[in-house]
Amino acid sequence: MSLYGADLFALLPELIVVVTACLVISLDPITPASRQDLLAWLSVGALALCLGITGWQINELNIRVSAFSDLVVIDAYARFWKILLYGVAGLTIFMSMPYLKVERIQLGEYYGFILLALSGMMVMVSGVDLLTIYLGTELMSLSLYVMTGLNRSKPRSLEAAAKYFVLGAFSSGILLYGISLLYGVAGSTKLATIAGAIGTRGADDPLVLIATILIAVGFCFKLAAVPFHMWTPDVYQGAPTSVTAFMAVAAKAASFAAFMRVFIEGLGGLKAEWSLLFLLIAVVTLVLGNVVAIVQTNIKRM
C-alpha cells in the first residue's frame, strides 16, 4: 500500500462518516417525509461500520500511527474517544427518531449534520497539529449551530442558534489568535515542535504565557467552564432536546479530549503553571454550576 493509501486507510472511519453525511443530505430531498427513518438507519449503519473498523485497529494495529505528515495520529487515546463518540452519536440518532416525529421536524438532513459534527469531533481527538484541531472544532461547531436552530417554528430555538453562533465565533477567534502566537514562538503548529520550543524558552516568555492563556480561554468556551459558561443555559434550553443531549455529551467530550492533548503533548512543559489554574477552574465550575442549578425551573437549563 502506498503512503497516500496508508494515510487514507488510517482515516477510514472519518471518511466513511463524511461520505455518509453527504449521502444523507443528498438523499433527503427525494426521501418522503414518512420514510425519514431510512436516513437515520443509514447513519446508524455507518457508525456500526466505523465501530468495527476502530475495533479492528485496536486488535490488529495497537500502535501509534501518524498520517498526512504528522497532522493526525491514530493512537489508543484517539481510538478510545472515537468509540465513545460513536456510541453517543448512535444513541442521539435513536432518541431523535421519535422526538422529531413528536415535534414535527421533518428534516432528514438533521442526521447528516449529526455525522458532520461527529467527523469534526473525530478530527479533534486525532489531531496533533493545532490547525488540524482548529478545523475539526469549526466543523463540529458549524454543524451544531445549524442543529440548534432546526426547530424553526420556535423563536427560542432561533435565538439560541444566534447566541451560540456569535459566542462560538468569538471563542474561535480567541483560540485562533492563541494558535498564531504559538506559531510565532515555535515556527510550527505541530504539538511536538511546540513542546520542544517551549522547553527552550520557558514560561517566562510573555508570548508563550499569553498564547497559553488564549488557548485555554478558547477551549473553556467550548467546555462551558466558568467564567465562560454564560451561553450554555440559553442554548441548551432553546435547542431541540436531542441536540441538547448531543452537545452536552459529545461536544464536551471531544473538546475535552482535544484540550488534554494540546496541554499535555504541546504545553506539557508549562504544567507547573497551568495545572493549578485548571484545578481552580474545575472546582469553581462544579460549585457554581450546582449552586445555580438549584434555582432553575427548566430541566434543560439545570
Closest among 17, 30, 28, 302 to 150, alpha carbons compared: 28
Long-range CB contact pairs, 53-59, < 8 A, 24+: 53/12, 53/13, 53/16, 54/13, 54/79, 54/82, 54/83, 54/86, 55/83
- Count, residues in the chain: 302
Q: What is the pLDDT of residues 91-150, one digit of tens each?
A: 999 998 888 888 777 777 889 999 999 999 999 999 999 999 999 999 999 999 999 888
Strands 72-74, 65-67: pairing kind: antiparallel
State the pLDDT at residue 3: 54
| Cα 190 from Cα 262, distance rounded (Å) | 10
Segment 252-268 mean pLDDT? 90
**What are the residues whose beta carbons fall under 8 Å from the beta carbon of 21, sequence distance 6 or more?**
43, 112, 113, 115, 116, 119
| Cα 227 from Cα 237, distance rounded (Å) | 19
Instruction: Determine contact, residues 175/131, Cβ cutoff 8 Å.
Output: no
| Cα 83 from Cα 5, distance rounded (Å) | 23
Instruction: Determine contact, residues 41/90, Cβ cutoff 8 Å.
Output: no
| Cis before 233? omega within 30 | no
Q: What is the pLDDT of residues 171-230, one digit of tens each?
A: 899 999 999 999 988 888 899 898 888 877 766 788 888 888 899 989 988 888 888 888
Segment 75-93 mean pLDDT? 92
Whether the full predicted model's pTM is greater than 0.85, yes or no, is yes
Helix (H) or strand (E) holding 249: none
* Packed helices 252-261 and 76-103: angle between N→C axes, nearest 10 degrees: 160
**What are the residues whose beta carbons fall under 8 Å from the beta carbon of 186, sequence distance 6 or more?**
193, 194, 196, 197, 198
Question: What pLDDT band is residue 4 in, cutting at 50, 70 and 90?
Answer: low
CB-based burial, 45-57: b 16+ in 10 Å, e otherwise: ebbebbbeebeeb
